[in-house]
Protein backbone atom coordinates (compact mmCIF):
# COMPACT_ATOMS: atom_id res chain seq x y z
CA UNK A 1 0.00 0.00 0.00
CA UNK A 2 1.00 3.64 -0.40
CA UNK A 3 1.07 5.25 3.03
CA UNK A 4 1.76 8.79 4.22
CA UNK A 5 2.94 9.41 7.77
CA UNK A 6 2.63 13.04 8.86
CA UNK A 7 5.09 13.80 11.64
CA UNK A 8 8.42 12.07 12.21
CA UNK A 9 8.63 12.18 15.97
CA UNK A 10 8.86 9.07 18.08
CA UNK A 11 5.58 7.50 16.94
CA UNK A 12 5.80 8.69 13.35
CA UNK A 13 9.32 7.46 12.68
CA UNK A 14 8.67 4.03 14.19
CA UNK A 15 5.31 3.76 12.38
CA UNK A 16 6.71 4.74 8.99
CA UNK A 17 9.77 2.51 9.27
CA UNK A 18 7.83 -0.56 10.39
CA UNK A 19 5.16 -0.19 7.70
CA UNK A 20 7.94 0.05 5.11
CA UNK A 21 9.55 -3.07 6.58
CA UNK A 22 6.37 -4.96 5.66
CA UNK A 23 6.73 -3.96 2.02
CA UNK A 24 4.60 -0.82 1.93
CA UNK A 25 5.69 2.39 0.22
CA UNK A 26 5.88 5.08 2.90
CA UNK A 27 6.24 8.84 2.54
CA UNK A 28 7.07 10.55 5.84
CA UNK A 29 6.34 14.29 6.03
CA UNK A 30 7.83 16.82 8.43
CA UNK A 31 8.25 20.60 8.39
CA UNK A 32 11.32 20.64 10.65
CA UNK A 33 14.02 21.30 8.09
CA UNK A 34 17.03 20.33 10.25
CA UNK A 35 15.41 17.04 11.27
CA UNK A 36 14.31 16.39 7.71
CA UNK A 37 17.85 16.90 6.43
CA UNK A 38 19.23 14.37 8.92
CA UNK A 39 16.56 11.82 7.99
CA UNK A 40 17.20 12.27 4.28
CA UNK A 41 20.90 11.66 4.93
CA UNK A 42 19.99 8.36 6.62
CA UNK A 43 20.38 9.40 10.26
CA UNK A 44 17.87 8.15 12.84
CA UNK A 45 16.73 11.13 14.91
CA UNK A 46 15.49 9.25 18.00
CA UNK A 47 17.10 6.75 20.35
CA UNK A 48 15.26 3.46 19.91
CA UNK A 49 17.02 0.07 19.98
CA UNK A 50 16.50 -1.96 16.80
CA UNK A 51 15.15 0.91 14.71
CA UNK A 52 18.32 1.87 12.87
CA UNK A 53 18.69 -1.46 11.00
CA UNK A 54 15.12 -1.31 9.65
CA UNK A 55 15.43 2.39 8.90
CA UNK A 56 18.61 2.01 6.83
CA UNK A 57 17.33 -1.07 4.98
CA UNK A 58 14.07 0.54 3.89
CA UNK A 59 15.70 3.78 2.81
CA UNK A 60 18.14 1.73 0.75
CA UNK A 61 15.29 -0.25 -0.83
CA UNK A 62 13.39 2.94 -1.66
CA UNK A 63 10.32 2.08 0.41
CA UNK A 64 10.87 4.86 2.97
CA UNK A 65 11.33 8.48 1.93
CA UNK A 66 11.21 11.81 3.78
CA UNK A 67 9.88 15.12 2.50
CA UNK A 68 8.32 18.43 3.51
CA UNK A 69 5.88 18.24 0.57
CA UNK A 70 2.56 17.48 2.27
CA UNK A 71 0.58 18.02 -0.93
CA UNK A 72 2.48 15.36 -2.86
CA UNK A 73 2.27 12.86 0.01
CA UNK A 74 -1.49 13.34 0.36
CA UNK A 75 -2.09 13.03 -3.38
CA UNK A 76 0.10 9.94 -3.74
CA UNK A 77 -1.17 7.93 -0.76
CA UNK A 78 -4.55 6.44 0.06
CA UNK A 79 -3.93 6.03 3.79
CA UNK A 80 -2.64 9.04 5.73
CA UNK A 81 -1.49 8.60 9.33
CA UNK A 82 -1.43 11.66 11.60
CA UNK A 83 1.46 11.12 14.05
CA UNK A 84 1.54 14.63 15.43
CA UNK A 85 2.38 15.96 18.89
CA UNK A 86 -0.47 16.54 21.33
CA UNK A 87 1.38 18.22 24.22
CA UNK A 88 -0.23 18.94 27.54
CA UNK A 89 -1.82 22.37 27.75
CA UNK A 90 -1.76 24.53 30.86
CA UNK A 91 -5.14 23.21 32.00
CA UNK A 92 -4.06 19.57 31.57
CA UNK A 93 -5.90 19.05 28.30
CA UNK A 94 -4.25 17.77 25.12
CA UNK A 95 -3.27 20.52 22.68
CA UNK A 96 -4.85 19.47 19.37
CA UNK A 97 -3.64 22.44 17.33
CA UNK A 98 -1.11 20.40 15.31
CA UNK A 99 -3.70 17.76 14.46
CA UNK A 100 -6.35 20.30 13.47
CA UNK A 101 -3.93 22.41 11.42
CA UNK A 102 -2.79 19.41 9.37
CA UNK A 103 -6.40 18.23 8.93
CA UNK A 104 -7.24 21.67 7.50
CA UNK A 105 -4.24 21.50 5.17
CA UNK A 106 -5.28 18.04 3.93
CA UNK A 107 -8.79 19.32 3.32
CA UNK A 108 -7.47 22.25 1.31
CA UNK A 109 -5.29 19.95 -0.78
CA UNK A 110 -8.15 17.53 -1.51
CA UNK A 111 -11.13 19.87 -1.90
CA UNK A 112 -11.03 19.67 -5.70
CA UNK A 113 -9.85 16.06 -5.85
CA UNK A 114 -12.26 13.11 -5.74
CA UNK A 115 -9.68 10.43 -4.81
CA UNK A 116 -10.67 8.41 -1.74
CA UNK A 117 -8.52 8.85 1.38
CA UNK A 118 -8.44 7.36 4.87
CA UNK A 119 -7.21 9.81 7.50
CA UNK A 120 -5.96 7.92 10.54
CA UNK A 121 -5.36 9.52 13.92
CA UNK A 122 -2.40 7.71 15.48
CA UNK A 123 -1.64 10.58 17.82
CA UNK A 124 -2.93 10.21 21.36
CA UNK A 125 -6.06 12.35 21.27
CA UNK A 126 -9.06 12.83 23.56
CA UNK A 127 -12.44 11.36 22.82
CA UNK A 128 -14.26 13.21 20.05
CA UNK A 129 -11.16 14.13 18.03
CA UNK A 130 -12.04 11.88 15.08
CA UNK A 131 -15.36 13.73 14.77
CA UNK A 132 -13.58 17.08 14.86
CA UNK A 133 -11.11 16.03 12.17
CA UNK A 134 -13.98 14.76 10.02
CA UNK A 135 -15.82 18.08 10.41
CA UNK A 136 -12.71 20.06 9.40
CA UNK A 137 -12.26 17.94 6.29
CA UNK A 138 -15.93 18.25 5.33
CA UNK A 139 -15.96 22.01 5.91
CA UNK A 140 -13.04 22.38 3.50
CA UNK A 141 -15.09 20.82 0.70
CA UNK A 142 -13.32 17.44 0.75
CA UNK A 143 -15.96 14.72 0.33
CA UNK A 144 -14.48 11.30 -0.45
CA UNK A 145 -12.79 10.29 2.81
CA UNK A 146 -13.11 8.32 6.02
CA UNK A 147 -11.52 9.07 9.39
CA UNK A 148 -10.24 6.38 11.74
CA UNK A 149 -8.66 6.25 15.17
CA UNK A 150 -5.71 3.87 15.53
CA UNK A 151 -3.92 4.53 18.84
CA UNK A 152 -0.36 3.35 19.34
CA UNK A 153 0.73 1.20 22.27
CA UNK A 154 4.50 1.50 21.90
CA UNK A 155 6.85 1.23 24.85
CA UNK A 156 9.93 3.37 24.49
CA UNK A 157 12.92 1.06 24.29
CA UNK A 158 10.75 -1.74 22.85
CA UNK A 159 8.83 0.18 20.19
CA UNK A 160 10.02 -1.81 17.17
CA UNK A 161 9.14 -5.10 18.85
CA UNK A 162 5.76 -3.72 19.95
CA UNK A 163 4.92 -2.50 16.44
CA UNK A 164 6.09 -5.60 14.60
CA UNK A 165 4.50 -8.04 17.06
CA UNK A 166 1.66 -6.14 18.77
CA UNK A 167 -0.46 -7.52 21.61
CA UNK A 168 -3.46 -6.08 19.78
CA UNK A 169 -4.40 -3.57 17.12
CA UNK A 170 -7.21 -1.13 17.95
CA UNK A 171 -9.05 0.53 15.05
CA UNK A 172 -12.01 2.87 15.50
CA UNK A 173 -14.18 4.01 12.61
CA UNK A 174 -17.80 4.23 11.53
CA UNK A 175 -16.79 3.14 8.02
CA UNK A 176 -16.78 -0.61 7.29
CA UNK A 177 -14.58 0.07 4.25
CA UNK A 178 -11.96 1.94 6.31
CA UNK A 179 -11.99 -0.78 8.96
CA UNK A 180 -11.48 -3.47 6.33
CA UNK A 181 -8.70 -1.55 4.60
CA UNK A 182 -6.79 -0.98 7.85
CA UNK A 183 -7.36 -4.59 8.86
CA UNK A 184 -5.66 -5.64 5.60
CA UNK A 185 -2.77 -3.28 6.31
CA UNK A 186 -2.20 -4.73 9.77
CA UNK A 187 -2.84 -8.39 8.97
CA UNK A 188 0.88 -9.23 8.42
CA UNK A 189 1.67 -7.92 11.91
CA UNK A 190 -0.74 -10.29 13.71
CA UNK A 191 -0.12 -13.59 11.94
CA UNK A 192 0.40 -15.30 15.30
CA UNK A 193 -3.24 -14.68 16.11
CA UNK A 194 -3.24 -11.53 18.23
CA UNK A 195 -6.50 -9.64 17.75
CA UNK A 196 -7.44 -6.70 15.59
CA UNK A 197 -10.16 -4.99 17.62
CA UNK A 198 -12.62 -2.93 15.55
CA UNK A 199 -14.87 -0.43 17.29
CA UNK A 200 -16.37 3.03 16.98
CA UNK A 201 -13.98 6.03 17.11
CA UNK A 202 -14.98 7.13 20.61
CA UNK A 203 -14.23 3.70 22.09
CA UNK A 204 -10.87 3.58 20.32
CA UNK A 205 -9.87 7.02 21.60
CA UNK A 206 -10.85 6.15 25.18
CA UNK A 207 -9.02 2.81 25.02
CA UNK A 208 -5.61 4.48 24.71
CA UNK A 209 -6.16 6.78 27.69
CA UNK A 210 -7.79 4.02 29.72
CA UNK A 211 -4.84 1.65 29.25
CA UNK A 212 -2.14 4.18 30.11
CA UNK A 213 -4.04 5.61 33.07
CA UNK A 214 -4.67 2.15 34.50
CA UNK A 215 -0.96 1.29 34.28
CA UNK A 216 -0.09 4.61 35.90
CA UNK A 217 -2.54 3.76 38.68
CA UNK A 218 -0.88 0.36 39.26
CA UNK A 219 2.53 1.97 39.53
CA UNK A 220 1.20 4.60 41.90
CA UNK A 221 -0.48 2.01 44.09
CA UNK A 222 2.79 0.10 44.41
CA UNK A 223 4.64 3.27 45.32
CA UNK A 224 2.11 4.05 48.05
CA UNK A 225 2.38 0.47 49.26
CA UNK A 226 6.18 0.70 49.27
CA UNK A 227 6.06 3.81 51.46
CA UNK A 228 3.78 1.94 53.87
CA UNK A 229 6.11 -1.08 53.91
CA UNK A 230 9.01 1.12 54.97
CA UNK A 231 7.00 2.33 57.97
CA UNK A 232 5.89 -1.11 59.18
CA UNK A 233 9.05 -3.14 58.53
CA UNK A 234 7.75 -5.07 55.53
CA UNK A 235 9.70 -5.74 52.32
CA UNK A 236 7.77 -4.54 49.26
CA UNK A 237 9.63 -6.97 47.00
CA UNK A 238 8.28 -9.90 48.96
CA UNK A 239 4.83 -8.33 49.00
CA UNK A 240 5.06 -7.75 45.24
CA UNK A 241 5.86 -11.42 44.63
CA UNK A 242 2.99 -12.47 46.85
CA UNK A 243 0.63 -10.26 44.87
CA UNK A 244 1.97 -11.11 41.43
CA UNK A 245 1.35 -14.83 41.75
CA UNK A 246 -2.40 -14.09 41.89
CA UNK A 247 -3.44 -14.54 38.26
CA UNK A 248 -6.14 -11.91 38.72
CA UNK A 249 -3.38 -9.35 39.32
CA UNK A 250 -0.33 -10.55 37.37
CA UNK A 251 3.33 -9.63 37.76
CA UNK A 252 3.72 -6.61 35.50
CA UNK A 253 3.82 -2.98 36.64
CA UNK A 254 4.22 -3.95 40.29
CA UNK A 255 7.74 -2.59 40.75
CA UNK A 256 7.89 0.43 43.07
CA UNK A 257 10.16 3.37 42.46
CA UNK A 258 10.38 7.14 42.34
CA UNK A 259 7.30 7.78 40.22
CA UNK A 260 6.36 7.44 36.57
CA UNK A 261 7.46 9.89 33.90
CA UNK A 262 7.86 10.01 30.14
CA UNK A 263 5.82 11.39 27.30
CA UNK A 264 2.69 9.28 27.84
CA UNK A 265 1.60 8.49 31.39
CA UNK A 266 1.70 12.00 32.92
CA UNK A 267 0.16 13.65 29.86
CA UNK A 268 -2.50 10.98 29.31
CA UNK A 269 -3.57 10.88 32.95
CA UNK A 270 -4.04 14.64 33.00
CA UNK A 271 -5.82 14.68 29.65
CA UNK A 272 -8.29 12.03 30.81
CA UNK A 273 -8.87 13.96 34.05
CA UNK A 274 -9.58 17.14 32.07
CA UNK A 275 -11.87 15.39 29.57
CA UNK A 276 -13.80 13.68 32.37
CA UNK A 277 -14.38 17.08 34.02
CA UNK A 278 -15.49 18.56 30.71
CA UNK A 279 -18.10 15.80 30.38
CA UNK A 280 -19.25 16.18 34.00
CA UNK A 281 -17.93 12.75 34.98
CA UNK A 282 -14.77 13.59 36.90
CA UNK A 283 -12.41 10.65 37.43
CA UNK A 284 -11.30 11.63 40.93
CA UNK A 285 -9.22 8.47 41.31
CA UNK A 286 -6.88 9.72 38.58
CA UNK A 287 -6.63 13.12 40.25
CA UNK A 288 -5.28 11.35 43.33
CA UNK A 289 -2.94 9.21 41.18
CA UNK A 290 -1.43 12.33 39.62
CA UNK A 291 -0.99 14.03 43.00
CA UNK A 292 0.65 10.97 44.59
CA UNK A 293 3.02 10.55 41.65
CA UNK A 294 4.26 14.13 41.92
CA UNK A 295 5.01 13.65 45.62
CA UNK A 296 6.70 10.28 45.01
CA UNK A 297 9.33 11.88 42.80
CA UNK A 298 10.70 13.78 45.79
CA UNK A 299 10.52 10.99 48.39
CA UNK A 300 14.17 10.22 47.75
CA UNK A 301 15.08 13.82 48.63
CA UNK A 302 13.40 13.34 52.00
CA UNK A 303 15.63 10.31 52.59
CA UNK A 304 18.69 12.31 51.61
CA UNK A 305 17.74 15.01 54.12
CA UNK A 306 17.21 12.36 56.81
CA UNK A 307 20.83 11.30 56.25
CA UNK A 308 22.54 14.65 55.67
CA UNK A 309 20.19 17.26 57.13
CA UNK A 310 18.27 20.09 55.51
CA UNK A 311 21.30 22.05 54.27
CA UNK A 312 23.16 20.24 51.50
CA UNK A 313 25.61 23.05 50.73
CA UNK A 314 29.10 21.75 50.08
CA UNK A 315 27.89 18.22 49.37
CA UNK A 316 28.22 16.55 45.99
CA UNK A 317 25.90 13.78 44.77
CA UNK A 318 26.50 11.37 41.91
CA UNK A 319 23.55 10.44 39.71
CA UNK A 320 23.24 7.20 37.77
CA UNK A 321 20.44 7.58 35.25
CA UNK A 322 18.62 10.63 33.90
CA UNK A 323 16.14 9.18 31.38
CA UNK A 324 12.67 8.39 32.68
CA UNK A 325 13.29 4.68 31.97
CA UNK A 326 16.05 2.50 30.48
CA UNK A 327 16.65 2.11 26.73
CA UNK A 328 15.61 5.65 25.86
CA UNK A 329 17.06 9.15 25.90
CA UNK A 330 13.64 10.61 26.74
CA UNK A 331 13.59 12.82 29.85
CA UNK A 332 10.09 14.25 29.56
CA UNK A 333 8.64 14.36 33.09
CA UNK A 334 11.54 12.18 34.31
CA UNK A 335 11.83 12.00 38.11
CA UNK A 336 15.51 12.91 37.74
CA UNK A 337 14.54 16.44 36.67
CA UNK A 338 12.55 17.14 39.83
CA UNK A 339 15.06 15.44 42.13
CA UNK A 340 18.09 17.24 40.72
CA UNK A 341 16.35 20.62 40.76
CA UNK A 342 15.40 20.12 44.41
CA UNK A 343 18.94 19.09 45.36
CA UNK A 344 20.36 22.13 43.57
CA UNK A 345 17.88 24.32 45.45
CA UNK A 346 19.18 22.83 48.73
CA UNK A 347 22.75 23.76 47.80
CA UNK A 348 24.06 20.44 46.53
CA UNK A 349 26.36 19.91 43.58
CA UNK A 350 25.56 17.21 41.03
CA UNK A 351 27.58 15.04 38.67
CA UNK A 352 25.54 12.69 36.51
CA UNK A 353 25.83 9.88 34.00
CA UNK A 354 23.28 8.32 31.66
CA UNK A 355 24.11 5.94 28.78
CA UNK A 356 21.73 7.67 26.35
CA UNK A 357 20.32 10.91 27.81
CA UNK A 358 23.56 12.88 28.12
CA UNK A 359 22.68 15.39 25.40
CA UNK A 360 18.98 15.47 26.30
CA UNK A 361 19.82 16.44 29.88
CA UNK A 362 21.58 19.60 28.74
CA UNK A 363 18.21 20.99 27.66
CA UNK A 364 17.06 20.76 31.29
CA UNK A 365 20.24 21.60 33.21
CA UNK A 366 22.73 23.17 30.79
CA UNK A 367 25.81 23.94 32.94
CA UNK A 368 24.07 23.59 36.32
CA UNK A 369 25.40 20.06 36.74
CA UNK A 370 28.58 18.20 35.83
CA UNK A 371 28.32 15.51 33.17
CA UNK A 372 30.29 12.29 33.67
CA UNK A 373 31.75 9.90 31.12
CA UNK A 374 30.83 6.66 32.92
CA UNK A 375 29.47 5.29 36.18
CA UNK A 376 32.80 5.45 38.00
CA UNK A 377 33.51 9.00 36.92
CA UNK A 378 30.10 9.95 38.33
CA UNK A 379 31.06 8.34 41.67
CA UNK A 380 34.41 10.09 42.09
CA UNK A 381 34.62 12.23 45.28
CA UNK A 382 30.87 12.23 45.93
CA UNK A 383 29.11 12.19 49.28
CA UNK A 384 26.39 9.80 48.11
CA UNK A 385 25.22 8.03 44.97
CA UNK A 386 21.66 8.20 43.63
CA UNK A 387 20.28 5.61 41.18
CA UNK A 388 17.38 7.15 39.26
CA UNK A 389 17.11 4.91 36.17
CA UNK A 390 17.47 1.12 36.17
CA UNK A 391 19.87 0.69 33.25
CA UNK A 392 21.27 -2.85 33.15
CA UNK A 393 24.86 -1.64 33.26
CA UNK A 394 24.22 -0.26 36.75
CA UNK A 395 23.30 -3.65 38.21
CA UNK A 396 26.72 -5.19 38.82
CA UNK A 397 29.35 -2.51 39.42
CA UNK A 398 32.76 -2.95 41.04
CA UNK A 399 31.81 -2.05 44.60
CA UNK A 400 35.44 -1.97 45.73
CA UNK A 401 36.15 0.68 43.11
CA UNK A 402 33.05 2.60 44.18
CA UNK A 403 34.08 2.39 47.82
CA UNK A 404 37.50 3.81 47.04
CA UNK A 405 36.02 6.61 44.91
CA UNK A 406 33.21 7.86 47.16
CA UNK A 407 33.65 10.08 50.21
CA UNK A 408 30.87 8.15 51.97
CA UNK A 409 29.66 4.62 51.26
CA UNK A 410 26.04 5.76 50.89
CA UNK A 411 23.61 4.84 48.10
CA UNK A 412 20.06 6.06 47.55
CA UNK A 413 18.51 3.57 45.12
CA UNK A 414 15.27 4.85 43.60
CA UNK A 415 14.83 1.74 41.44
CA UNK A 416 15.72 -1.12 43.82
CA UNK A 417 18.59 -2.19 41.59
CA UNK A 418 20.59 -3.83 44.40
CA UNK A 419 19.72 -6.39 47.07
CA UNK A 420 19.76 -5.13 50.68
CA UNK A 421 21.45 -8.34 51.93
CA UNK A 422 24.41 -7.79 49.61
CA UNK A 423 24.66 -4.11 50.50
CA UNK A 424 24.70 -5.02 54.16
CA UNK A 425 27.48 -7.54 53.60
CA UNK A 426 29.73 -5.09 51.77
CA UNK A 427 29.12 -2.31 54.28
CA UNK A 428 27.23 0.33 52.31
CA UNK A 429 24.52 2.48 53.82
CA UNK A 430 21.70 1.68 51.47
CA UNK A 431 18.32 3.35 51.05
CA UNK A 432 15.84 1.81 48.62
CA UNK A 433 12.07 1.91 48.00
CA UNK A 434 9.74 -0.08 50.22
CA UNK A 435 12.55 -1.86 52.05
CA UNK A 436 14.34 -1.16 55.30
CA UNK A 437 17.46 1.01 55.38
CA UNK A 438 20.70 -0.97 55.56
CA UNK A 439 23.56 0.22 57.80
CA UNK A 440 21.96 3.56 58.58
CA UNK A 441 24.58 6.04 59.77
CA UNK A 442 24.40 8.94 62.16
CA UNK A 443 23.58 12.13 60.30
CA UNK A 444 26.65 13.33 58.43
CA UNK A 445 25.82 17.02 58.11
CA UNK A 446 23.42 18.56 60.63
Would you please indicate which residues are annotated as catalytic (active-site) residues? 264
- Residue-wise over 336-357: b if at least 16 C-beta within 10 A, else e? bbbbbbbbbebebbbbbbbbbb
C-alpha to C-alpha distance for 1 and 181, rounded to whole angstroms: 10
Count of H-run helices and E-run strands, the chain: 18, 14
With 0-12 / 13-18 / 19 or more C-beta atoms within 10 angstroms meaning exposed / middle / buried, residue 100 is middle
Residues 6 or more apart whose Cβ sits within 8 Å of residue 328? 47, 48, 156, 157, 356, 357
Could you say which DSSP state residue 298 is in? T
CA angle (407, 350, 425) in 5-degree steps: 40
SS3 27: strand
Hey, how many other C-beta atoms are within 10 angstroms of the C-beta on 328?
26
C-alpha to C-alpha distance for 49 and 325, rounded to whole angstroms: 13
Residues 6 or more apart whose Cβ sits within 8 Å of residue 196? 168, 169, 171, 183, 186, 187, 190
Residues 6 or more apart whose Cβ sits within 8 Å of residue 119? 80, 82, 103, 106, 133, 137, 145, 146, 147, 148
* Nearest in space to 430 (alpha carbons), one of 445, 410, 404: 410
**Helix H segments across 66-164?**
70-76, 97-110, 129-139, 159-164
Amino acid sequence: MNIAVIGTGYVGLVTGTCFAEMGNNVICVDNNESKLERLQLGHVTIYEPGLEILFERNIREGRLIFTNDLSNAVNECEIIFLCLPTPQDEDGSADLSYVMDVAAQIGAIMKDNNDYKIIVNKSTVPVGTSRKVSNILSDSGFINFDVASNPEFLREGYAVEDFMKPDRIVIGSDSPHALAKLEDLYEPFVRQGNPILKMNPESSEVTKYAANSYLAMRITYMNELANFCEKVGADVDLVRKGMGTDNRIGKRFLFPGIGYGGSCFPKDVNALIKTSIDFDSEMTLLTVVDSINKKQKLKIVEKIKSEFGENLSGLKFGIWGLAFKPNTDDMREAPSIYIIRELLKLGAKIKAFDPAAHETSKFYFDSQIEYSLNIYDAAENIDALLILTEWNEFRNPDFNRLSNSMNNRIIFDGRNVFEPIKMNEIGFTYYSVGRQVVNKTDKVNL
